[in-house]
Structures are given as structure tokens and as C-alpha cells.
Amino acid sequence: MIQSLLLASLLILPAPFQATSLSGQPQAEKGVSCESAELKEFDFLLGEWQGVERQTTPGAKPNAMTADVQITKNAQGCLLRENWTVYVDGRKAFGMFAIRSYEAKAKKWRLTYFGDDLSYEAWDSRKERDYWRFYREEIKEGKLMMVSVAWKLLAGDRFEQIMERSFDQGQTWTPRATLIFTRR
């Protein structure tokens, strides 16, 4: 818990949370810099967005979930800072601060959420076809459940966020919700 709070406080500071060399320049895996193509894969998310639920779990009320999101890069462009406010039936359900960063050594993205309800989530990722799927595990009703989320660019300055669940270690996925985000 203390580590999570320390990390959150470090990420709020103006300087990037990363190792630096003796010259003061950010260190990166050989061949990868803050200007590398790998670190631009989520640039389409930059800006202010409003999301509206398009698809829900069968039997759930449609369009019940909405979200307001602001996404920026840090000064060096090495990570994305995200502020999310999620509403259900027009009432605030929760807010969160997130950091999306690329781990050069592992060649994958990481996503870390800090919720205003004192929650913490660490998401791993893998590249699937033309998009990245982020995933994490949790226990739901005594069973191991995987949760995944993916962001895909759409035409017309929009993107979709697809949330799914799996109870068989990712062999099959059940849709949970899809939100369509439009730039404000």
C-alpha cells in the first residue's frame, strides 16, 4: 500500500518517473527512445474525450455507463497520464488516475490505475493483431477471472474501449461493455 501511494505521488510530480543517466538524460532500452514508434502507439488517445456505452452484458440497461477522460503525455513523451471519471445512470461511480507506459525491455505496455476509492490495479498487455489487449486477474465469486480491456481507433476521430471477462484463463472472452469515445 505504501509503495502504491509513493508511486502515485512520484507520478504527479512534473519530472518523469524514470531512471536517468549521469548526464541527466532519460535512460532507455537500446534502440528505444521517447520518440520511438513504440511510444506513439497510443497517441490517438491524447486529448479530451466523452464515452458512451454501446454494448453491455446481456440483460443490462443500455447506455447506462458514460465516461469523461483527459489523456496527456508527460513532458518527455515517455508515458501517458490519464484522468477518468465514470458515471452510471448519470451519477458518478468512480474516478481514477492512470499511467500508461511502455516497458522497452519486455516490449510491452503497462497500465496502472489509482482509484479515488483507494483502489489500485496493475494491467499487463499483449499485442493482438493490430491492437494491444490489457489484462489482469481477480477473484470473482471464488473463481479466478481475467479481465481485459482494449482500445481501438475508429474513423471520425473516435475510439472504442472494449471490456471483456474470461473464466477459462483467456481461452474465451465474454463481452462486458463497449464504450465509444468522441473527442470533445
First-last CA distance in the chain: 35
Q: How confident is the model at residue 1 (pLDDT cuts 50, 70, 90)?
A: very low
Establish if 52 belongs to a structural domain. yes
Does any domain span residue 24? no
Number of structural domains found in the chain: 1
Whole-angstrom CA distances from 91 to 64, 87, 160 are 10, 5, 22
Residues 132-167: pLDDT tens digits?
999 999 998 899 999 999 999 999 899 999 999 999
**Helix/strand/coil percentages in the chain, nearest 5:** 10, 55, 35
Tens digit of each residue's pLDDT (9 = 90 or more) over 22-54:
445 455 556 678 888 888 999 999 999 999 998
Domain holding 65, by residue range, is 2-11+33-183
| pTM, 2 dp | 0.79
Residue 38 lies in a domain: yes
How far is Cα 1 from Cα 10, in angstroms, rounded to an integer? 14
